[in-house]
Amino acid sequence: MFLSSVGLEYLHTGCNPPLIHRDVKATNILLNARLEAKIADFGLTKAFDYHNNTHLFTNTLAFTPGYVDPEYQATMQPTTKSDVYSFGVVLLELVTGKPAILSDPEPTSIIQWARQRLARGNMEGVVDARMQGGYDINGVWKVAEIALKCTAQGSAQRPTMADVVAQLHECVELEEGRAPSFHTGGSSGDDNYNAYASAQSTDVSSNTAFETELRIPTLAADPGPTAR
């Protein structure tokens, strides 16, 4: 998920004008042959003029149930924080192995389901059982906390994607420290993060982050289905 966060952060800060994806969801985050996550499906992407606070194209309400920012749904005005909200839902799907909308037995948002359990400190009841304990508990808690911040009801309380990138990088470091044997060859998480930061500061226009092949270790040994 680190690389997909990098891709979204590039859309928000590396493009001129900034771009809003508007349809961030699990099925739009794909893995390549090296299990590197890539953002896909830009059919609903919109440009945003921050100087004039206006969208550059005709505004049309479009979203996937379970992933939509409630502010966007109410105002029909997408912002970069709308993408942040949707990305938080995807993070919860990654941690729990559950869909964005659960039948529990009534249809329930994964956000509500996870918040209730995490408020009680029940991380074991939240993490995907298929992980079988193969994770750093501090790293998973941090990912869950990031997800809950991303899915805050008000957009002002949500982090930026730049904040999310930095915090997920810390999660990668925790996982690397727990099980270095998982990661063979290639560069370390620090090397890749520094390479990304350098690329952003020198020439973001010619080197898009979602196409840059940074080799960041996955957070779990099991890569899961290909459309995650």
Please give the share of the chain, as a percent, with pLDDT higher than 70.
Answer: 69
- pLDDT one-digit tens code per residue, 47-73: 655 544 444 444 566 678 999 999 999
Least confident of 11-25, 146-160, 192-206: 192-206
pLDDT recorded at residue 1: 82
* Strand positions, DSSP E, 22-170: 29-31, 37-39, 46-49, 54-55, 101-103, 107-109
- How far apart are the C-alpha atoms of 89 and 110, rounded to whole Å? 7
Beta-ladder partners of 47: 19
Which of 1.10.10.10, 2.60.120.380, 3.40.50.880, 1.10.510.10 is the CATH number of 2-95+134-203?
Answer: 1.10.510.10
Known catalytic membership, residue 190: no
**Exactly one of 23, 69, 83, 136 is catalytic; which is it?**
23
Rounded to whole angstroms, the maximal C-alpha distance in the chain is 51
Domain ranges of the chain: 2-95+134-203
- How far apart are the C-alpha atoms of 162 and 158, rounded to whole Å? 11
- pLDDT one-digit tens code per residue, 80-138: 999 999 999 999 999 999 999 998 788 999 999 999 999 999 999 999 999 888 888 89
Phi-psi region of 167 (alpha: psi -120 to 50; beta: other; left: phi over 0): alpha
Contact predicate 167/138, CB 8 Å: no
Closest CA to 71 of 59, 55, 58, 82: 82
Q: Report which of residues 8 and 178 the model is more confident about.
A: 8
Least confident of 121-135, 191-205, 208-222: 208-222
- pLDDT one-digit tens code per residue, 158-193: 999 999 999 999 998 888 877 544 433 344 445 444
